[in-house]
């Protein structure tokens, strides 16, 4: 029996912070050695941090990575343990994303990435080239200072595996786990038993199962040991890398790390039986046949043993049940950890949130409250780094530290209700109640006097005073009056964030939190430069439907009971006067429900539908519920306002990425922001299709009663498909 103890890790790296990154790498190696591991794998580009982006184009970045590697090699960290260390490497003037394998203060091999990630949030081809030569390993000339430490002039570079005396090992890097023609297939057929994957994979709702299934299936089909390492945390951008380092053997997960954590370093180890891998492969006839006429893969011979012989008491690690968080838990824990990293690394003193008492801002408040709960819990569990950060941010003195989440929130979280004459007592009381449950420092600030002052100034300049539509004003007046209120709130929020610490004799500044959701961004149902404009937004890529489910969950599990009342209230901007016969509602304003918006968003982004293909798809989906002409009206209505408001995405507050149909314009959803909002060609094609379908006569139309129901005014329960008429007013769709 060949027994091998292996270790993988989650590391909370920070792009371009070489001190932090090097410290975490060293700590992970030390912990792996202490556990008796013979192999350690770390995350992708761990020395630099994955999110360096255009900093990768700077020669300094690669040079500093080599300097950090020299520190590791000269410090004896790799003595007795094979370490895969991720860093950029320049070879013959071409930059590659590499894993550098080190053992006993020498470099065994450098493995460049073969398949680069270049979609969604990833732009690796902008900074790196893929290694395409698979026939042979080539010599890489080491930098002089590295050569002096290792006493090596050149080392093998390229695609291949490492053959030790008792085990063969090879690498995959992140994206290669998910490719159709994965490197591990040929490697497994060449006898490779252990695969290490250095990854930089971000969190996305409901995505973890894809990753876990890929690892399981990789070792189920080919056998072997699969070690997966990942970054964990906010490394300086919109993404949260969600860890979950894993070790899988022959289709079973035998070790799983945390998905969400405040820890900087988490190391996971397992004792694996390599003879079980050989036995598994030999039992599969098709594997034996394919391996017998394989394509040979180049390899490096290393005269060194990594395995241990069987001894009494040494038991291979058995399978574990994989832990998956519910989407509501993902919304709670992912953005909470992201906010904590952003807070401590920005050196800010806390957060300020305009808390309206509605679902979106209440969700953000609950996430900050969850963050405070996680911090206190980790301090209770003995995490000294979290404790030190909390003491600094909360400005504790004389050895005091946070012991209660509400007390911590009072120190680092301001909430502000900025009401007007259009605000209801219901939202005001819900905001106050939630603030008390979380523990934030809460202010109730009436802004009517500021609104009145601006309107008086406008009247003096123009001789006219705008009126709301319910009072006889035009759509233009109505929209302008709403935008004034919204933009005043933004200005006031930033003023208070900069000055309130001074008022309370604290140092530093507060970060303003935004609270617009992904559906509002997609539809453009927000005022440009209102409270959607902030420093960061933890829910900007979360759908309204998921947020409402989160509120119901948080009311129970975070013990913020007022959230149940928030969730039950109909969504409203409260920017227009409340009358006996009129109450502003979001879905009526938008002319579509949040459920419909989520459908449109997924079809537009995930299924890559333009207006015509979306119409065709929805005709099948809504067959028997809506007629073709009604589907056409809805699709046209969505694309019209999507086009009109796309410009707002160019200034959207940096948001936590959580949803696959996010319209975020910076890097994820790259499209123009000036459209012909009439879509003349596409809409004409839709009209032609409607005519053809009407002539065909096979379409099952809705019943007359169903039509009346759908065209009715949205009830307080609301949310169903089609309950809002397309021709509704649209007061928040403007500038």
Contact assessment for residue 248 and residue 218, using Cβ atoms and an 8 Å cutoff: yes
Give strand ranges (E) for 379-466.
Answer: 413-419, 441-446
Banded pLDDT at 480 (limits 50, 70, 90): very high
Encoded tokens for 518: 């992904």
Other Cβ atoms closer than 10 A to 328: 20
What burial class does residue 680 get, using C-beta atoms within 10 Å of its C-beta: 0-12 exposed, 13-18 middle, 19+ buried? exposed
The DSSP 8-state label assigned to residue 513 in this structure reads B
What is this structure's pTM?
Answer: 0.91
Rounded distance between C-alpha atoms, residue 521 and residue 544, angstroms: 11
Return left, alpha or beta for 61; rule: phi > 0 is left, psi -120 to 50 is alpha, else beta: alpha
Q: Report the CATH superfamily, name and number, of domain 328-446+487-590.
A: HUPs (3.40.50.620)
Encoded tokens for 620: 């099948």
- On the question of pLDDT at 367 being above 50, the answer is yes
DSSP string, 234-294: -SSSS--EE---EEEETTEEEEE--SS-S-SEEEEEEEEEHHHHHHHHHT-HHHHHHHHTP
Q: What is the pLDDT of residue 313?
A: 80
Q: What is the pLDDT of residue 697?
A: 65
Of 41, 303, 296, 304, the closest CA to residue 160 belongs to 296
Identify the helix (H) or strand (E) that includes residue 39. Answer: strand 39-41
Banded pLDDT at 110 (limits 50, 70, 90): very high
C-alpha distance from residue 293 to each of 190, 413, 724 (Å): 10, 64, 64
3-state secondary structure of 207: coil
Rounded distance between C-alpha atoms, residue 430 and residue 369, angstroms: 16
Give per-residue pLDDT as tens, 685-710.
999 999 988 877 655 444 344 444 44
For 540, how many CA atoms within 13 A lie in the half-sphere containing its CB?
28
Other Cβ atoms closer than 10 A to 67: 15
Rounded distance between C-alpha atoms, residue 466 and residue 483, angstroms: 12
Q: What is the pLDDT of residue 555?
A: 98
Contact assessment for residue 376 and residue 404, using Cβ atoms and an 8 Å cutoff: yes
Contact assessment for residue 645 and residue 734, using Cβ atoms and an 8 Å cutoff: no
- Average of pLDDT values for 598-602? 94
Q: Are strands 225-233 and 246-249 parallel, antiparallel or unpaired?
A: antiparallel
Rounded distance between C-alpha atoms, residue 174 and residue 117, angstroms: 8
3-state secondary structure of 323: coil
Of 485, 469, 365, 483, the closest CA to residue 421 belongs to 485
What burial class does residue 46 get, using C-beta atoms within 10 Å of its C-beta: 0-12 exposed, 13-18 middle, 19+ buried? buried
Give per-residue pLDDT as tens, 313-352.
889 999 999 999 999 999 999 999 999 999 999 999 999 9
The domain segmentation of the chain, as residue ranges, is 3-324, 328-446+487-590, 592-702
Contact assessment for residue 330 and residue 203, using Cβ atoms and an 8 Å cutoff: yes
- Average of pLDDT values for 611-631? 94
Contact assessment for residue 609 and residue 603, using Cβ atoms and an 8 Å cutoff: yes
Cβ contacts of residue 312 below 8 Å, gap of 6+? Answer: none
Rounded distance between C-alpha atoms, residue 173 and residue 204, angstroms: 19
Q: What is the pLDDT of residue 698?
A: 58
Q: What is the pLDDT of residue 701?
A: 46
Task: Please give the positions annotated as active site.
Answer: 44, 113, 174, 356
- On the question of pLDDT at 731 being above 80, the answer is no
**Strand partners for 107:** 102
Q: What dihedral do alpha carbons 156, 160, 161, 163 form, nearest 10°? A: -70
Q: CA 47: distance to chain centroid?
A: 21
Question: What is the dihedral sign for C-alpha 305, 310, 315, 320?
Answer: positive
**Strand partners for 392:** none
One fold for 3-324 and 328-446+487-590 = no
Cβ contacts of residue 91 below 8 Å, gap of 6+? Answer: 112, 140, 157
Q: Euclidean distance between the first and final Cα of the chain, in Å?
A: 70
- On the question of pLDDT at 715 being above 60, the answer is no
The percent of the chain in helix, strand and coil, each rounded to the nearest 5, is 45, 15, 40
- On the question of pLDDT at 92 being above 50, the answer is yes
Q: What is the pLDDT of residue 184?
A: 95
Q: What is the pLDDT of residue 704?
A: 41
- On the question of pLDDT at 10 being above 60, the answer is yes
Rounded distance between C-alpha atoms, residue 396 and residue 384, angstroms: 15
Of 649, 652, 651, the closest CA to residue 641 belongs to 649
Give the residue, 312 or 165, on which the prediction is more confident. Answer: 165
Of 30, 68, 8, 13, the closest CA to residue 200 belongs to 13
- % of the chain exceeding 70 in pLDDT: 95
CATH of domain 3-324: 3.60.110.10
Encoded tokens for 706: 């169903």
Q: Are strands 241-242 and 225-233 parallel, antiparallel or unpaired?
A: antiparallel
Q: What is the pLDDT of residue 663?
A: 84
Give per-residue pLDDT as tens, 409-445.
999 999 999 999 999 999 999 999 999 999 999 999 9
Q: What average pLDDT does the chain have?
A: 92
Give strand ranges (E) for 77-180.
Answer: 82-91, 94-103, 106-112, 138-141, 154-157, 161-163, 168-173
Give per-residue pLDDT as tens, 293-316.
888 999 999 999 999 888 878 899
Give per-residue pLDDT as tens, 511-555.
999 999 999 889 988 889 988 899 999 999 999 999 999 999 999
Give per-residue pLDDT as tens, 25-61.
999 999 999 999 999 999 999 999 999 999 999 999 9
């Amino acid at each position: 029996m060949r027994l091998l103890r292996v270790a993988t890790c989650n590391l909370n790296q920070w792009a371009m912070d070489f001190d932090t990154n090097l410290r975490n790498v060293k700590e992970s190696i030390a912990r792996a050695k202490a556990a008796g591991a013979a192999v350690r794998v770390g995350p992708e580009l761990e020395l630099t941090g994955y999110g360096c982006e255009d900093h990768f184009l700077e020669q300094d970045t690669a040079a500093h990575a080599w300097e950090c590697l020299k520190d590791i090699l000269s410090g004896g960290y790799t003595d007795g343990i094979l370490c895969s260390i991720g860093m950029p490497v320049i070879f013959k003037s071409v930059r590659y994303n590499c894993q550098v394998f080190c053992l006993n203060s020498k470099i065994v091999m450098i493995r460049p990435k073969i398949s680069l990630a270049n979609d969604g949030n990833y732009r690796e081809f902008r900074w790196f080239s893929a290694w395409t030569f698979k026939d042979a390993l080539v010599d890489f000339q080491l930098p002089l200072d590295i050569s002096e430490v290792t006493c090596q002039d050149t080392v093998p570079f390229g695609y291949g595996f490492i053959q030790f005396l008792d085990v063969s090992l090879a690498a995959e890097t992140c994206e290669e786990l998910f490719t159709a023609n994965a490197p591990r297939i040929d490697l497994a057929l060449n006898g490779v038993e252990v695969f290490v994957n250095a990854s930089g994979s971000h969190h996305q709702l409901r995505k973890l199962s894809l990753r876990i299934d890929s690892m399981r299936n990789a070792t189920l089909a080919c056998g072997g040991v699969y070690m997966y390492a990942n970054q964990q945390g906010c490394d300086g951008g919109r993404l949260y890398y969600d860890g979950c380092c894993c070790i899988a053997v022959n289709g079973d997960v035998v070790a799983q790390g945390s998905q969400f954590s405040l820890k900087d370093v988490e190391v996971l180890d397992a004792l694996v039986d390599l003879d079980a891998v050989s036995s598994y492969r030999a039992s599969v006839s098709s594997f034996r046949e394919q391996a017998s006429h394989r394509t040979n893969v180049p390899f490096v011979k290393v005269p060194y043993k990594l395995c241990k012989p069987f001894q009494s008491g040494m038991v291979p690690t058995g399978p574990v049940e994989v832990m998956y968080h519910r989407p509501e838990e993902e919304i709670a824990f992912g953005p909470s950890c992201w906010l904590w990293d952003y807070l401590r690394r920005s050196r800010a003193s806390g957060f300020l949130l305009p808390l309206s008492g509605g679902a979106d801002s209440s969700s953000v408040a609950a996430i900050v409250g969850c963050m405070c709960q996680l911090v206190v819990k980790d301090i209770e569990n003995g995490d000294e780094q979290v404790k030190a950060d909390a003491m600094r941010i909360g400005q504790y003195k004389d050895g005091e530290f946070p012991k209660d989440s509400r007390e911590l929130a009072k120190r680092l979280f301001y909430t502000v209700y900025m009401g007007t004459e259009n605000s209801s007592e219901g939202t005001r009381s819900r905001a106050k109640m939630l603030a008390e449950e979380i523990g934030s420092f809460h202010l109730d600030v009436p802004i009517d006097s500021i609104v009145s002052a601006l309107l008086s100034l406008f009247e003096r300049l123009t001789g006219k005073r705008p009126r709301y539509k319910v009072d006889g004003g035009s759509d233009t007046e109505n929209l302008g009056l709403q935008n004034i209120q919204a933009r005043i709130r933004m200005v006031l929020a930033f003023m208070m964030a900069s000055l309130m610490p001074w008022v309370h004799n604290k140092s530093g500044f507060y970060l303003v939190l935004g609270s617009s959701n992904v559906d509002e961004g997609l539809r453009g149902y927000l005022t440009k430069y209102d409270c959607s404009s902030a420093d960061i937004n933890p829910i900007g890529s979360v759908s309204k439907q998921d947020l409402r489910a989160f509120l119901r969950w948080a009311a129970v599990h975070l013990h913020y009971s007022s959230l149940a009342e928030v969730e039950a209230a109909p969504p409203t901007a409260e920017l227009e006067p409340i009358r006996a016969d009129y109450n502003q509602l979001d879905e009526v304003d938008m002319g579509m429900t949040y459920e419909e918006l989520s459908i449109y968003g997924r079809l537009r982004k995930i299924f890559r539908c333009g207006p015509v293909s979306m119409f065709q798809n929805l005709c099948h989906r809504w067959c028997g519920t809506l007629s073709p002409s009604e589907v056409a009206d809805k699709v046209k209505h969505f694309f019209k306002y999507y086009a009109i408001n796309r410009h707002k995405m160019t200034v959207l507050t940096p948001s936590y990425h959580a949803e696959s149909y996010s319209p975020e314009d910076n890097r994820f959803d790259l499209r123009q922001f000036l459209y012909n909002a009439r879509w003349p060609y596409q809409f004409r094609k839709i009209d032609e299709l409607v005519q053809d379908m009407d002539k065909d006569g096979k379409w099952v139309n809705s019943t007359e009663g169903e039509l009346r129901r759908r065209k009715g005014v949205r009830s307080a329960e609301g949310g169903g498909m089609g309950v809002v008429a397309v021709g509704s007013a649209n007061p928040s769709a403007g500038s």
